[in-house]
Structure 1
């Protein structure tokens, strides 16, 4: 399982967050969907593939309060060796 932050959905907010973290000495690499997907080259992606974390296996439990309040600015995926 891997997850990664992205600016694809919230570019202005993500840029501001990255700048705040940088000022605190923390480097944040924001990657696009294509850049994140490259981490899985040669692997078989498990359904639902590269998606926002909020879209992963909704059937596994009850909704979390405030779960639908907005976009989670990241991607998640699981890959396995074929």
Structure 2
């Protein structure tokens, strides 16, 4: 047993209410003040540092999207050092 307290109907309804409120606010996907350009730049820098640290080459696929806007990913092109 995990020690988790089972949710009551009141808890579930409160959670659904909060989720609906956040969805209606438009901030459920990106928080207020989110800077997409700055985030993409930081992500690109992270990919470059990771490549340098591990001696690999990754493809920074920031424009690839899945079911939601702004999904970012890194695809490993090589598994060994170049």
Common topology (TM > 0.5)? no
**Which structure shows the bigger proportion of residues in helix conformation?**
2
Q: Answer 1 or 2: which has greater strand percent.
A: 1
Structure whose alpha-carbon radius of gyration is higher = 2
Q: Which has the higher contact order (CA 8 A, sep 6+)?
A: 1
- Alignment TM-score, normalising by the size of structure 1: 0.31
Q: TM-score, normalised by structure 2?
A: 0.31
